[in-house]
């Protein structure tokens, strides 16, 4: 078997809008370094609706079930038509309980230098599993809007343990648990309570502290360097991880992974960017960094390091940047420069 052998089956979903453009770029770069993936290309999002009137076709689900591994482009959420959220369906179908988002400075000279922390967001529960309804008041049938979220002890334990195990495996020093247990005493109190029990099991190996979410938001802006690994509930994680991406260059630089016991799905944090789709302007780096996380997930740290090094050289020394990063390179210019750097 040669170093370039493709031996790991993986599902490839190009996605909508800028998805196919940035996915082409990423696959070219993965091929350049001899990544081990054998792609099974599948549809989802509007591409799925157009082909088979389903934003998450059965065939795509079957493929991920077979491969347990997917690289997914951004999907446009169909408006109306009674379609269920694709991301929520995928998370539930494959039990993708952990959303992992690394935040690392790659481009120097921004507002912040040397940022390097990882955020874990609980992906299945909280307010995002909400049962919502209206309660009539007088003759207003929608007088009160009601939403009930939940957090289970088992899921709180699983996500916090996942963050601690990541910290141990990656030589991180501290896990910070973010909650709002002073006000949402039960809903996020159980997360803090379970988190403290998990922290005891890692005592002497990993430090543990906690923050109230509003204070954490402020501290992420005033002193983000104090954070190493953050673990939090679904809604807080959604908001704080976008804030975190803003510290290191915005959505074009933010990769993410959804990890479960049955599968792992890697993607950029950004959406399908309809305003620039088809113009060749999209930044492929967030999706490429998601592919780097996928390489780490399958044990190819060597290739991950090579691509990370190539990205750094291309956009810092080479100064090749797309418009969102203040440059004038097209997706194709950046891809070509990266390939040259990696060849
Ligand atoms: P968006 O992330 O698509 O775009 C927000 C802004 O960021 C736009 O100005 C866009 O041009 C810019 N941008 C995003 N990615 C970029 C990139 N790689 N390079 C350069 N610029 C980039 O958010 P939106 O406009 O709110 O959403 C568009 C669609 O995407 C919606 O249908 C939304 O539901 C969907 N969405 C999907 C996902 C996902 O599949 N994971 C995530 C977020 C939004």
Give the model confidence (pLDDT) of 17-54 as tens digits: 999 999 999 999 999 999 999 999 999 999 999 999 99
pLDDT value at position 4? 57
> In this structure, are residues 181 and 189 in contact, taking their beta carbons and an 8 Å threshold?
yes
The predicted-structure confidence for 198-211, as pLDDT tens digits, reads as follows: 999 999 999 999 99
pLDDT value at position 80? 66
pLDDT value at position 300? 96
Residues identified as active-site: 128, 180, 214, 238
The predicted-structure confidence for 146-158, as pLDDT tens digits, reads as follows: 999 999 999 999 9
Question: Distance between CA 245 and CA 178 in Å, rounded?
Answer: 17
Q: Evaluate if residue 55 carries a pLDDT over 70.
A: yes
pLDDT band at residue 128 under the 50/70/90 scheme: confident
Residue nearest to atom 25 of ligand 1 (CA): 273
Mean pLDDT of the chain: 94
> In this structure, are residues 156 and 190 in contact, taking their beta carbons and an 8 Å threshold?
yes
Give the bridge partners for 146, in sequence order.
Answer: 133
**Can you tell me which atom of ligand 1 is nearest the CA of 274?**
28
Q: What percent of the chain lies above the pLDDT cut of 70?
A: 98
**Can you tell me which atom of ligand 1 is nearest the CA of 284?**
18
Tokens of 215: 């204070």
* Any atom of ligand 1 within 6 Å of the Cβ of 286: yes
pTM of structure: 0.93
> In this structure, are residues 176 and 184 in contact, taking their beta carbons and an 8 Å threshold?
no
Q: Cα of 257 to ligand 1 centre, how many Å? A: 17
**Can you tell me which atom of ligand 1 is nearest the CA of 283?**
19
Give residues with Cβ within 8 angstroms of 83, minimum separation 6.
Answer: 49, 55, 77
* Any atom of ligand 1 within 6 Å of the Cβ of 25: no
In terms of average pLDDT, the best of 87-96, 165-174, 313-322 is: 165-174
Phi, psi for residue 306 in degrees, rounded to 5: -65, -45
User: SS3 sequence, the chain?
Assistant: CCCCCCCEEEEEECCCCCHHHHHHHHHHHHHHCCCCEEEEECCCCHHHHHHHCCCCCHHHHHHHHHHCEEEECCCCCCCCCCCCCHHHHHHHHCCCCEEEEEEECCCCCCCCCCCEEEEEEECCCEEEEEEEEEEEECCEEEEEEEEEEECCHHHHHHHHHHHHHHHHHCCCCEEEEEECCCCCCCCCHHHHHHHHHHHHHCCCCCEEEEEEHHHHHHHHHHCHHHCCEEEECHHHHHHHHHHHHHHCCCHHHCEEEEECCCCEEEEECCCCCCCCCCCCCCCCHHHHHHHHHHHHHCCCHHHHHHHHHHHHHHHHHCCCCEHHHCCCECHHHHHHHHHHHHC
Q: Evaluate if residue 2 carries a pLDDT over 60.
A: no
The predicted-structure confidence for 238-273, as pLDDT tens digits, reads as follows: 999 999 999 998 888 899 999 998 899 999 999 999
The predicted-structure confidence for 306-341, as pLDDT tens digits, reads as follows: 999 999 999 988 889 999 988 999 999 999 999 999
Q: Cα of 102 to ligand 1 centre, how many Å? A: 19
Question: Distance between CA 301 and CA 194 in Å, rounded?
Answer: 32
Rounded to 5°, angle at Cα 306 from 26 and 98 = 65
* Any atom of ligand 1 within 6 Å of the Cβ of 232: no
Q: Evaluate if residue 64 carries a pLDDT over 70.
A: yes
Q: Cα of 136 to ligand 1 centre, how many Å? A: 36
Q: Cα of 227 to ligand 1 centre, how many Å? A: 27
* Any atom of ligand 1 within 6 Å of the Cβ of 252: yes
Which pairing describes strands 229-232 and 116-122: parallel, antiparallel, or unpaired? parallel
Question: Distance between CA 322 and CA 250 in Å, rounded?
Answer: 12
> In this structure, are residues 213 and 178 in contact, taking their beta carbons and an 8 Å threshold?
yes
* CB neighbourhood size of 80 (10 A): 5
> In this structure, are residues 91 and 124 in contact, taking their beta carbons and an 8 Å threshold?
yes
Phi, psi for residue 268 in degrees, rounded to 5: -80, 155
- Residue 72's nearest CA partner among 269, 239, 227, 215 is 269
Tokens of 52: 């088979």
The sign of the dihedral angle between the CA atoms of 64, 14, 299, 227 is: negative
pLDDT value at position 81? 65
* CB neighbourhood size of 84 (10 A): 10
Q: Cα of 270 to ligand 1 centre, how many Å? A: 5
Q: Evaluate if residue 3 carries a pLDDT over 60.
A: no
Residue nearest to atom 31 of ligand 1 (CA): 76
Mean pLDDT of 105-131: 90
| Chain center to CA of 242 | 10
């Amino acid at each position: 078997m040669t170093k370039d052998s493709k031996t790991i089956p993986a599902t490839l979903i190009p996605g909508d809008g800028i998805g196919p453009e940035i996915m082409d770029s990423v696959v070219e770069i993965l091929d350049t370094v001899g990544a081990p993936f054998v792609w099974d290309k599948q549809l989802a999002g509007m591409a799925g609706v157009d082909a088979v009137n389903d934003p998450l076709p059965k065939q795509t689900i079957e493929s991920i079930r077979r491969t347990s591994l997917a690289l997914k482009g951004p999907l446009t959420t169909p408006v109306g038509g009674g379609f269920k959220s694709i991301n929520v369906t995928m998370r539930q179908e494959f039990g993708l309980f952990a959303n992992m988002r690394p935040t690392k400075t790659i481009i120097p000279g921004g507002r912040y230098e040397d940022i390097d922390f990882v955020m874990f967001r609980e992906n299945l529960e909280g307010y995002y599993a909400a049962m919502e309804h209206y309660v009539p008041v007088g003759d207003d049938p929608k007088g009160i809007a009601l939403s009930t979220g939940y957090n289970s002890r088992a899921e709180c334990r699983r996500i916090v343990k996942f963050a601690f195990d990541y910290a141990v495996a990656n030589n991180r020093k501290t896990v910070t648990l973010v909650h709002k247990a002073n006000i949402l005493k039960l809903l996020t109190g159980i997360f803090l309570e379970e988190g403290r029990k998990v922290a005891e099991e890692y005592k002497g190996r990993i430090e543990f502290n906690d923050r109230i979410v509003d204070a954490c938001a402020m501290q992420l802006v005033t002193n983000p360097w104090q954070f190493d690994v953050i673990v939090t509930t679904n809604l807080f994680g959604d908001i704080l991880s976008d804030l975190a991406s803003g510290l290191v260059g915005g959505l074009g630089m933010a990769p993410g992974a959804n990890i479960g016991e049955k599968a792992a799905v890697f993607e950029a944090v950004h959406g399908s960017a309809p305003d620039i789709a088809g113009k060749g302007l999209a930044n492929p780096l967030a999706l490429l960094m998601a592919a780097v996380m996928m390489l780490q997930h399958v044990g190819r740290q060597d290739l991950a390091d090579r691509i990370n090094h190539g990205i750094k050289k291309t956009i810092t020394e080479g100064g090749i940047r797309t418009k969102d990063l203040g440059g004038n390179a097209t997706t194709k210019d950046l891809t070509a420069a990266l390939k040259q750097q990696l060849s």
